[in-house]
Amino acid sequence: MKNKNKEYLEYRQRKRGKYPVPTADIIIEIDNGFILIERKNPPYGWAIPGGFVNCGESLETAAIREAKEETGLDIENLVQFHTYSEPGRDPRFHTITTVFVAKGVGKPKADSDAKSLKIFNERNLPENFAFDHQKIITDYLRWKKR
């Protein structure tokens, strides 16, 4: 399994080329917590809902679309939180993500490409995060306390 994952990641790096890829992630607040998705595909772990920005799409539109696709939720009160650009933040290739925070409306449901979906808070964080999402959640929790 490990060799297949390595081959997949190398393939993705070759396909993306030499320029950073824009992504949008969205911390969805709901039921006194926030949603994380357990990834079914590599890199594995718990992740903030999000994904790639399509050509012709704004960061805000991408975040709202990804929220709907990955959680089934509508979004209210979208606020830009922070941009993360560390070259090694995604093991597949260099991505630059803009993270948003918003309120989720509806009943969350994991998309078919997710292993599971769960509502977390600062007292019950998972141990295995994907990407740099542990840092993002730590920054978010610090920001919420201000």
Query: What's the CATH fold of domain 2-144?
Result: Nucleoside Triphosphate Pyrophosphohydrolase (3.90.79)
Decide which of 4 and 106 is more confident: 106
Domain definitions of the chain by residue range: 2-144
pLDDT digits (tens, 9 = 90+) for 18-65: 789 999 999 999 999 999 999 999 999 999 999 999 999 999 999 999
Q: What does pTM read for this prediction? A: 0.89
CA torsion, ordered 140, 64, 69, 85, to nearest 10 deg = -50
pLDDT digits (tens, 9 = 90+) for 98-132: 999 999 999 999 998 899 999 999 999 999 999 99
Report how far residue 1's alpha carbon sits from residue 118's, in angstroms, rounded to the nearest whole number: 26
For residue 13, pLDDT over 70 is answered with no
